[in-house]
């Protein structure tokens, strides 16, 4: 078998201008989704050239699940002090919770600065430093690739913040450990869906492509089970639409689901339980996490035609 060789090419030959070429390319639906996959975010509501006082940031968007503001600043050259100052200024002016700096080359001093920012801020703010590269194989079209240079250590930041507040009890610690291990398994399986930041919450949300609903993984340790459900926060009509296709959806999942319209409440949920959760006995965690991922993917696929 003949194999080709990857050849890196000058990204300025792919995108001559940051604003008119690269930012426009990145803001398209498929490319911003690819960036979101790298960052483990579901990026929506994309705006370009957003004004911050007398200046303009490159891209502003939101994370679909958390609603957090995401600032993206592009620099098709090596990092410099000027752009580092700009991203902090823009983040402050726009109250951004996630800051993404995409560059051609990350200098050591600026990678160190982003690492320092992540270490000395709480879990409410995250800084990412990425390099963008482009490669060809033979006469192929250039293929872009994002490379993460710095990113927040979510487990460390969350644990540090909660420890400082004196709020980290045994149950919270077990939840934080569970979600961190689940993220490791998601990585091992090739990221079939975007990871979320580990937390001490009993739930973990997975985006389904719309802000109208999402899949929630819930740890119900007192009942020794895990609940996987499609949550519809405030749209009874959408629940009723799903209900009209109950037979098809359950056939696609391959099992009966629990349909709860939650009368008198804003939310509705369609769910299934996985038994066997016990924070005090974790030897079955690998099997539970495999089943969680399988069930999430089944629900996403089954509901997608009706979203």
pLDDT at 156: 61
E strand spans, the chain: 6-9, 43-52, 55-63, 69-78, 98-105, 126-137, 143-150, 203-207, 214-220, 225-232, 258-260, 268-275
- Contact yes or no for 268/236 (Cβ under 8 A): yes
Contact in structure between 181 and 190 (CB atoms under 8 Å): no
Q: At what angle do helices 170-188 and 154-165 cross, to 10 degrees?
A: 170
Per-residue model confidence (pLDDT) at position 42: 86
Residue 84 pLDDT: 95
233: helix, strand or coil? coil
Q: What is the per-residue pLDDT across 223-244, written as a single tens digit (0 to 9) for each?
A: 999 999 999 999 999 999 999 9
Residue 269 forms beta bridges with which residues?
Answer: 231, 260
Identify the structural domains of the chain with CATH numbers, from first to last: 6-152 (3.40.1350.10), 156-306 (3.30.1460)
Distance, CA of 101 to CA of 72 (rounded, Å) = 6
pLDDT score at 262: 93
Instruction: Indicate if the alpha-carbon torsion angle 204, 116, 51, 57 is positive or negative.
Output: negative
The number of C-alpha atoms within 13 Å of 4 and in the hemisphere containing its C-beta is 9
DSSP 162-204: HHHHT---HHHHHHHHHHHHHHHHHHHTT-SS------SSSEE
Q: pTM value?
A: 0.69
State percent of the chain over pLDDT 70. Answer: 95
Q: Is residue 307 very low, low, confident or very high in pLDDT (cuts 50, 70, 90)?
A: confident
Q: What percent of the chain has pLDDT over 90?
A: 67
Beta-carbon count within 10 A of 38 CB: 17
Does residue 150 contact residue 114 with C-beta atoms inside 8 Å? yes
Q: What are phi and psi of 89, to 5 degrees?
A: -65, -45
CB 226 within 8 A of CB 274: yes
How large is the average pLDDT for residues 88-113? 94
């Amino acid at each position: 078998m003949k194999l080709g060789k990857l050849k890196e090419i000058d990204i300025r030959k792919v995108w001559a201008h940051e604003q008119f070429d690269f930012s426009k390319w990145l803001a398209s639906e498929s490319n911003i989704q690819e960036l979101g996959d790298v960052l483990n975010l579901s990026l929506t509501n994309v705006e370009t050239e957003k004004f911050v006082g007398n200046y303009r940031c490159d891209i502003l968007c939101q994370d679909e699940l958390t609603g957090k503001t995401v600032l993206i600043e592009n620099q098709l050259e090596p990092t410099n002090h000027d752009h580092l100052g700009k991203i902090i200024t823009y983040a402050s002016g726009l109250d951004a919770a996630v800051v993404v700096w995409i560059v051609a080359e990350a200098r050591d001093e600026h990678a160190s600065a982003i690492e320092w920012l992540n270490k000395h801020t709480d879990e409410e703010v995250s800084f990412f430093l990425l390099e963008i590269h482009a490669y060809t194989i033979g006469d192929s079209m250039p293929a872009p690739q994002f490379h993460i240079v710095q990113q927040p250590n979510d487990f460390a930041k969350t644990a540090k913040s909660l420890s400082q507040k004196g709020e980290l009890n045994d149950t919270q610690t077990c939840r934080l450990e569970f979600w961190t291990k689940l993220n490791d398994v998601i990585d091992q399986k090739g990221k079939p869906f975007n990871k979320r930041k580990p937390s001490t919450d009993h739930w973990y949300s997975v985006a389904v492509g719309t802000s109208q609903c999402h899949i929630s993984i819930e740890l119900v340790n007192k009942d020794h089970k895990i609940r996987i459900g499609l949550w519809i926060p405030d749209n009874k009509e959408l629940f009723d639409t799903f209900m009209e296709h109950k037979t098809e959806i359950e056939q696609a999942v391959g099992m009966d689901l629990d349909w709860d319209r939650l009368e008198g409440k804003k939310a509705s949920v369609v769910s299934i339980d996985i038994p066997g959760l016990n924070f005090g006995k974790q030897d079955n965690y690998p099997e539970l996490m495999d089943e969680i991922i399988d069930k999430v993917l089944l629900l996403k696929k089954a509901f997608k035609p009706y979203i």
